[in-house]
Structure 1
Amino acid sequence: MEYCTLGRTGWKVSEISFGSWAIGGTWGEVDDSESLAALRRAVELGVNFFDTADVYGDGRSERLLARLKRECGEEIHIATKAGRRLDHQYAEGYNRANLEEFVGRSLKNLETDCIDLLQLHCPPTEVFYMPEVFGILDDMVQQGKLRYYGVSVEKVEEGLKALEYPNVQTIQVIFNIFRQRPADLLFEQAKKHQVGILARVPLSSGMLTGKFKKDSAFSKDDHRAFNREGAAFDRGETFSGVDYETGLQAVEELKQICPKDMSMAQFALRWILMFDAVSCAIPGAKRPSQAEENIAAANMPALSKETMQQTRAIYEKYIRPLVHQYW
């Protein structure tokens, strides 16, 4: 495993880390024993950073990570998120009373007195123009409830605005072969501010594994079945906002340039690691075998300049018109 310094925290985090949305819920059926096996295998292979949220399975993934941390002591860092427990998203909901309630619940789920890293969970854009919200987080750091805080964003604009707040340590953003815009400006600015970048949805909801077909079916409780048009939350979270048929077309061309010694998932993850502003990618895994495949990408050789150019050409041909200016 390779490690990268996460912003100004001083932490050395695994370049391939672990996103725990899938083991919480809305990705189809999951089994806690299998999820724990995947988490343990990740630790065995050198993963030391885990990302979760209070709404993933209504705290389910936080509780699984608390159990994992009990087993392996202080060797791992757990980042969680707050804000999506609001009945509906509105800027005024990010007030002291609500944030204290959300943080208190996560402290209990994670079985800790201090959260390693708290991230605002894709709040409305207006929140990034409300310095009082970041002041509340500063107070929580002073109170010892948080070690550090950051933000999870939908839009590049939000990430750029977040950089104006001096104690923001990390920005979590969708970044993958289908969502390349963050590399245009956000990454450069994040490096200047020494802010870590967490690349989420790195496999574009599984599309970039190359395993889906036109007739692939998803269960009713899987967001890939019910959120393609944004019915439940931002549509950019599902297949990166790319319509299913176009995604399949682009993946077929990507398969033609995928290095022979890599799976498509490993190719997609290795592509992300070619950007030095990225602290880590956070793919999910519901089984140990998925964790193993993902983690192996960290030790694979760099992609060639030609492959990077070909990947960009496929993005320009199929994907850019659909997503580039939206997020």
Structure 2
Amino acid sequence: MNYRKLGKTNFNISEIALGTWQVGGKWGSGFNEKKAETIINTAIDNGVNFIDTADVYENGLSEIAVGKAIRSRSERIYMATKCGRFINPHVNEGYQPKILRQYVENSLRRMQLDAVDLIQLHCPPTEVFYRTEIFELFDKLKQEGKILNLGVSVEKVEEALKAIEYENVSTVQIIFNLFRQRPSELFFKEAQKKDIGIIVRVPLASGLLTGKFTSETAFHNQDHRFFNREGASFDKGETFSGINYDLGLQAVNEIKKLFPEVQNLAPIALQWILSFNEISCIIPGASSENQVISNLSTFDLPELTPEKIAAMNAVYEQYIKKEVHHLW
């Protein structure tokens, strides 16, 4: 495992961490506490020391599993959770300091921890990023010892750039992958100037970049890849990075031609992300031990050559850029 500094937090965290949206079961298939425990501990056993969760993941069960795992280990494991998505309807007016405070305290109770290493606003509406009283709340929570750092999870580059204007924002979690390249332009430069930790989510474009999907692949009807392709339930950009599924398959087939000997493209897709020094870590999810090991096998590969990276980027330019680059 390799480690990088998480911005102003000064945490030294694993380049590949663990996201827990679907830990303990595939999307739509329900939560399995034993499986979640096994996945989390497999990641830690292999050098992962940063785990990302959220209060809404499995309605709090993910936080419970993460907290239990952290308390059972002797290693220093950094944990991040998120708050805000329980607000329903999920609109700007619903974001109130009193409500957010309660969410943070609920998370601490579920995880049975004294403090959260990193609390993140969970993809709030854009208007929330222009409300100073929301960000001031987290200074108070830090003074009370309930949180150590504040971060944000965002949908759009605009939101990321606004968030890092607040001095107490230490990290930004953002979608970035071979099919979502816009953040590497202005945002990465500005984040580096302000020592902001960049946490990359949806690194495999909801599995598209594993190269394992086909036009015949069927998803469970409770899986967001089945019901959210047009953004029916939450931001469209979360599912397949907002790309039309069939177009994504065409682009993936072109990438496969660059690596004809490779059966699983996931480690290569992660390695492409890690070629950006501004990034602190990637948080791929896992619904099995094998997926954890697959993600970590990135470190077993020879380094991508500049020629290979250029060829991968050319696929983005030809197939993807004109469709989504301007949207997020």
In the superposition, the TM-score normalised over structure 2's length comes to 0.97
| Kept in 2: contact 1:91–1:123 (CA 8 A) | yes
1:259 CA displacement = 7.4
Q: Map 1:225-244 to 2 at 5 A.
A: 225-244=226-245
Match of 2:308 in 1: 307
How far 1:214 sits from its partner (Å)? Answer: 0.5
User: What is aligned with 1:60?
Assistant: 61
2:184 aligned with 1:183, yes or no? yes
Matched residue, 1:116: 117
The answer for the alignment partner of 1:294 in structure 2 is 295
Helix, strand or coil at the partner of 2:7:
coil
CA separation in 2, counterparts of 1:194 and 1:261? 36
1:302 is displaced (CA, Å) by 2.3
Change (3 A) 1:105 1:74: farther
Q: Which residue of 2 aligns with 1:247?
A: 248
In the aligned structure 2, how far is the partner of 1:26 from the partner of 1:44?
Answer: 22
Give the aligned residue type for 1:8: K
Whether the 8 Å CA contact 1:259–1:267 is kept in 2: the answer is no
- Does the Cα contact within 8 Å between 2:25 and 2:287 map onto a contact in 1? no
Q: Are the aligned partners of 1:177 and 1:268 in contact in 2 as well (CA < 8 Å)?
A: yes
* Residue number in structure 2 paired with 1:2: 2
Asked whether 1:135 is paired with 2:146, we answer no
What is the rounded CA distance, in whole Å, between the counterparts of 1:195 and 1:83 in structure 2?
21
- Equivalent residue letter for 1:12: N
Task: Name 1:17's counterpart in structure 2.
Answer: 17
- After TM superposition, list the pairs within 5 Å mapping 1:263-282 onto structure 2: 263-282=264-283
Q: Which moved more, 1:266-275 or 1:30-39?
A: 30-39
Deviation at 1:311, TM superposition (A): 1.0
* 2:323 counterpart letter in structure 1: L
State the shift of 1:286 in Å.
1.1
Q: What are the superposed Cα offsets for residues 103-128 of structure 1, whole Å, 9 maximum, x if unpaired?
A: 11111111112111000000011111
Asked if 2 retains the 8 angstrom alpha-carbon contact of 1:2 and 1:299, the reply is: no
- SS of 2:8's equivalent in the other structure is coil
Q: Distance in 2 between matches of 1:6 and 1:172?
A: 11
Is the alpha carbon distance of 1:270 and 1:64 closer, same or farther for their aligned partners in structure 2, counting shifts above 3 Å?
same
2:120·2:152 contact (CA, 8 Å) conserved in 1?
yes
Equivalent residue for 1:75?
A: 76
Q: CA deviation at 1:298?
A: 3.3
Change (3 A) 1:322 1:261: closer
Distance 1:154 1:299 in 2: 32
Quote the offset at 1:301 in angstroms: 2.9
Letter in 1 for 2:19: G
Identity of aligned residues (%): 49
Map Cα deviations across residues 251-307 of structure 1 (whole Å, 9 max, x no partner).
Answer: 000111137468300010000000001100100111111101101213533211111
Matched, 1:173 2:174: yes
What secondary structure, in the 3-state scheme, does the structure 1 residue paired with 2:160 have?
A: helix
Unaligned runs of 5+ in 2: none
Residue 33 of structure 1 and its aligned partner are, at CA, apart by 1.7
The superposition leaves residues 199-257 of structure 1 with CA deviations (integer Å, 9 ceiling, x where unpaired) of 00001101111111101111111111111111110010000000110011110001111
In the alignment, is the contact (CA less than 8 A) between 2:88 and 2:94 conserved in 1? no
Counterparts of 1:28 and 1:164, CA distance in 2: 37
> What is the alpha-carbon distance in structure 1 between the residues aligned to residue 312 and residue 128 of structure 2?
35
